[in-house]
Amino acid sequence: MIKDILKRTTERMSKTIEHFKSELIKVRTGKASVGLLDGIKVDYYGTMTPLNQVGNINTPDFHTITVQPWDKSVIGLIEKAILNANLGLNPINDGNILRIPVPPLNEERRKELVKLVRKYAEENRISVRNIRRVEIEHIKKAEKTEHISEDDRKNAESEIQKLTDKYIKEIDDILQKKEKEIMEV
Q: What is the CATH number of the domain that holds 13?
A: 1.10.132.20
Q: Examine the domain organization and report whether 163 and 140 are in the same domain.
A: yes
- From 101, 133, 156, the end of a domain falls on 101
Helices (H), 26-106: 75-84
pLDDT at 159: 95
Q: Examine the domain organization and report whether 22 and 38 are in the same domain.
A: no
Q: How many domains are contained in the chain?
A: 2
Measure the CA–CA gap between 185 and 178, rounded to whole angstroms.
Answer: 13
Helices (H), the chain: 2-25, 75-84, 107-145, 150-183
Q: Examine the domain organization and report whether 87 and 111 are in the same domain.
A: no
Q: Examine the domain organization and report whether 88 and 110 are in the same domain.
A: no
pLDDT at 86: 74
pLDDT at 170: 97
3-state DSSP assignment of residue 98: strand
pLDDT at 185: 58
Q: 29 φ, ψ to 5°?
A: -120, 5
pLDDT at 154: 92
pLDDT at 104: 79
Find the domain containing 87 and state its range. Answer: 34-101
- Nearest Cα to 162, choosing from 143, 124, 135, 180? 135
Q: Examine the domain organization and report whether 22 and 110 are in the same domain.
A: yes
Q: pLDDT (tens digit, 0 to 9) for every residue of the chain, 185 residues total?
A: 788 889 999 999 999 999 999 888 877 676 777 878 888 899 888 889 898 889 999 988 888 999 999 988 889 999 998 888 877 788 999 888 999 988 777 888 888 889 999 999 999 999 999 999 999 999 988 888 888 888 988 999 999 999 999 999 999 999 999 999 888 75
Measure the CA–CA gap between 146 and 78, rounded to whole angstroms.
Answer: 57
Q: Examine the domain organization and report whether 44 and 76 are in the same domain.
A: yes
Measure the CA–CA gap between 115 and 124, rounded to whole angstroms.
Answer: 14
pLDDT at 89: 82
Which H/E stretch holds residue 92?
A: strand 92-93
